[in-house]
Structure formats: structure tokens, C-alpha cells
Structure 1
Amino acid sequence: MIQPKAFLFDMNGTMIDDMFYHGLAWFDVLTNDVKANFTRAEVDKQMYGKNEEVLDRLFGKGRFSVEEVSALSVEKEKRYQAAYKPHLKLINGLDAFLKKAKAHDIAMAIGTAAISFNVDFTLDNLDIRRYFEVIVSADDVSTSKPHPETFTKCADLLKVPYLDCVVFEDAPKGVEAALNAGMKAVVITTMHPAHEFAAYPNVITCVADYTDPKLNALFQQ
């Protein structure tokens, strides 16, 4: 394929393998603070999108006030960061992959449903902010994936045509968002096996991490 002009990265599960800790933090808050009676599996199933959307799916829309949603979200993120920080690291091979992309003058952005608080936590602790010209977080969009807004906004800010972007994702809804944006996608199989993406025609390849030689096809030789 022709070398893309931009790489757009989801963050959680795509750059860092942290979704277990998000589930752990939500389960802790919902069980001990809200006194809800969800199983861990029920909570884990809803671990996508904005925090208020997670709560809406679990409890129904309108169960919490705006102030309550904010307070629960802040507490959840504090517990997530405390639990995950000792384990914080890039998915294998990503550091070298980012360096290679920069050397090939490929523009890079992050398009994530994470809030800025967690984006800063990741980028600054791992010292990788310098690679990304644009960051679009949950705070910057009105509609979550699979709506394409997250990725189209990344491309618009980079001033790169949608067809020239490749999205890196770990979730079907993220790949669907890329499809809805008219973009190809590479799947990182941290959370979902490759067969769950078989129906998406925009998937270039599925890889376990960024050391896979199949990713060499993204760069001009």
C-alpha cells in the first residue's frame, strides 16, 4: 500500500494495555461508593466511551446528576491511575514504531475516549507527548465512537485527507468509527481476538503488538 500521511492512535488498549485497571476502578467505585450490585463481568462489558455513557448504560440515562457523574468520574480515574501507574508502559514495540513513523514524516495524533486527565497521565509519565501533533480526547467531541468525530477531528487538525489516515484501534467500535470516517485501520488484539473484526472491510491487518513485521507494509521502503 502507499505510505499513509497520518497515523491516528486510540489510547487505552491500543497504546497501553490498561483496560483491566479501568474495569477494576469502576467496579470498586460502583460497589463501594454507589453500593450497586454488578458483577465484574457486567462492569467490564461496558468499558468503552465516555464515563457518563458507561454510567448511562449500567443504570439508565438520568440516574445521576451532572455533579454526581463528575464526582464519580474523578474518583474512578484517581483509583485507576493509582492502581495502574506501577504497571504503566507502552505496548511492546510501540516506542520504536513511533520513532520510525516520525523518521518517515508521518503525522501522528491521538483520538481517544479517555479524558484529558488520563491522556496527560499516560503521555507525560511515558514521555511520548513529542510524537503527537494533535490530541483529541473525550473532552473535545460531542459524540463517542463509533461516530467518526474523534478521528475526523484528528485528521482535520492535522490537515490530512481522511483516505490518507490509518487508525490504530483495539475495539470493534473504534474500527467502526474509522470505517465511518473513511479510514483504514490496524487492529491491536489486546482486548478482542482478530475474528471479531472480520466484518469490517477497512481492517488492513490484526497484530498482537507493534513488533509484528506486517506493519512494515505501512512504510515506504
Structure 2
Amino acid sequence: MALIMFDMDGTLINSSHSIVNTINYVRQNLGFEELEKNHILEKVNDPNINAAQYFYGTNDFTIQQKELFENHYNATCLDNLELYEGIKKLIDDLSSDFTLSVATNANSTFARKMLEHLEIEHYFKSILGYNDVQKPKPHPEMVYKILDTHNIKKEKAQLIGDSHKDIMAASKAGVDSVLVNWGFSNHEKDAIETIEELEQKILQKFKE
């Protein structure tokens, strides 16, 4: 059976409210000004920046920053959380013919909580987060780990994401990928706009 890996935030679910509020909560606690929503979402997905440096002024995330973020996010991650339109039907349609997995740079404990709240967690045979690997996306470790978990060759897999971090992780692992444009980034090229296009891309890749 072929494998479809989905990024979570900005691909399956719109979690922008909690992400933005939590980053600004941490920034306020560190004495920084709030940042505008779309700016945060654009930079969260940018593979060319050091997120710790950009948002909090440190080379790496500190224990204090992680605790502030995780405590606040845990308390608020279900607020205004929603599935993108058409996602539930898509994964329901795919679930009988494909192994489905989630590859997210969020904590997998929070990811399970959020996907369960939206009643789609049961569709996924595995859910991997940044806490399950040494190096998150754009490093390919998460993709390799999911392939190994399900004993599926890279040629029989595809990764769907809204960020160049997703596409880079897939590419480095030799896995086909699809960039979607309904998430947190606004891609000017090489991205698809609709769920219908995504379904076509998936079926095109795996049709006999």
C-alpha cells in the first residue's frame, strides 16, 4: 500500500490563531512587542531563518521559551481550530487505499490532541512531531522515520505540505511532494490552490 504523509498546520488544519497568540505570548513575556499575524505565519514556515533568533532573539530555543510556549499552546491549541474545507472528505476517501501519516514540526502530543478534537486522528497510522526526531523538517529525518515505520519504499510515498520546509524534507528523502496554497504561506508558483487539484495529484502519482 502506498503512503501519503501530510504536514498538519496549514495543510490539514487551520491552527493559525493559537500559533500566533502563543508566539506573541512568549514575546510579551520576554519583553518584545507583538508581531502581526500574517508576518508570524510567513516566518514560521521560512526555511531560511533561525526561528529562535527571529522571534525571541536567542540562537536556540531556551528552556524558558519552550515552557512558556508549550504551556500556553497546550491551554489554547483547540481555540478557533478548524479543518480546511474538504480535508475530512479527502482523507476519508484516501484512507481505504493508502496508509496515511502526519509529519509535523509541532509536538506530536499536541498534534494528536488537535486531530482528535477535529475527529480525524484515527485516520492516521502514525503521527510524528519534532519531539520524535533529532532534526525536524526541512531535514528529511521525519520522512525517513515514517517510511521505516510502515516499511514503504520512497517511490511509493508522497508528502503534502504548505511550506517549503515540507518540500525540502521530501526532496532530500527522494520522496515526491505537493505544495498547497491554502495554508500559512502565499506561494507565487508551483503550488496548487484546491483540494480537487490535490486529489488529482495524488491519484495521478499512484494510478496504475
Q: TM-score, normalised by structure 1?
A: 0.78
Q: Which runs of 5+ in 2 are unaligned?
A: none
The answer to which of 15-24 and 182-191 deviates more is 15-24
Counterparts in 2 of 1:75-90, with a 5 A limit?
Answer: 75-78=71-74, 80-81=76-77, 84-85=78-79, 87-90=80-83
Tell me, yes or no, if the aligned pair for 2:108 and 2:132 is still in contact at 8 Å: no
* Alignment match of 1:60 (pick from 58, 64, 72): 58
Q: Which runs of 5+ in 1 are unaligned?
A: 199-205
What is the aligned length?
200
Using a 3 Å threshold, how does the CA distance of structure 1 residues 16 and 192 change in structure 2: closer, same or farther? same
After superposition, what is the alpha-carbon deviation per residue over 1:124-174, rounded to whole angstroms, capped at 9, x for unaligned? Answer: 101212211111111101112111011111111111111211100000111
What is the Cα deviation at residue 217 of structure 1? 2.6
Provide the rounded CA distance (Å) in 2 between the counterparts of 1:161 and 1:169: 20
Using a 3 Å threshold, how does the CA distance of structure 1 residues 96 and 208 change in structure 2: closer, same or farther? same
Match of 1:211 in 2: 196
What is the Cα deviation at residue 180 of structure 1? 0.6
Provide the rounded CA distance (Å) in 2 between the counterparts of 1:189 and 1:43: 17
After superposition, what is the alpha-carbon deviation per residue over 1:14-61, rounded to whole angstroms, capped at 9, x for unaligned? Answer: 101223531232113312x22113533664443249xxx633443122
Counterparts in 2 of 1:12-161, with a 5 A limit?
Answer: 12-31=9-28, 33-37=29-33, 39-40=35-36, 43-48=40-45, 54-58=51-55, 59-61=57-59, 65-66=62-63, 68-78=64-74, 80-81=76-77, 84-85=78-79, 87-104=80-97, 106-161=98-153
Match of 1:220 in 2: 207
Root mean square deviation, CA, Å: 2.5
Provide the rounded CA distance (Å) in 2 between the counterparts of 1:21 and 1:188: 21
State the secondary structure of the residue aligned to 1:195: coil
Provide the rounded CA distance (Å) in 1 between the counterparts of 2:45 and 2:32: 19
State the secondary structure of the residue aligned to 2:196: coil
Tell me, yes or no, if the aligned pair for 2:160 and 2:180 is still in contact at 8 Å: yes
* Alignment match of 2:165 (pick from 173, 186, 196): 173
Provide the rounded CA distance (Å) in 2 between the counterparts of 1:121 and 1:189: 25
Percent identity, please. 19
Using a 3 Å threshold, how does the CA distance of structure 1 residues 39 and 131 change in structure 2: closer, same or farther? closer
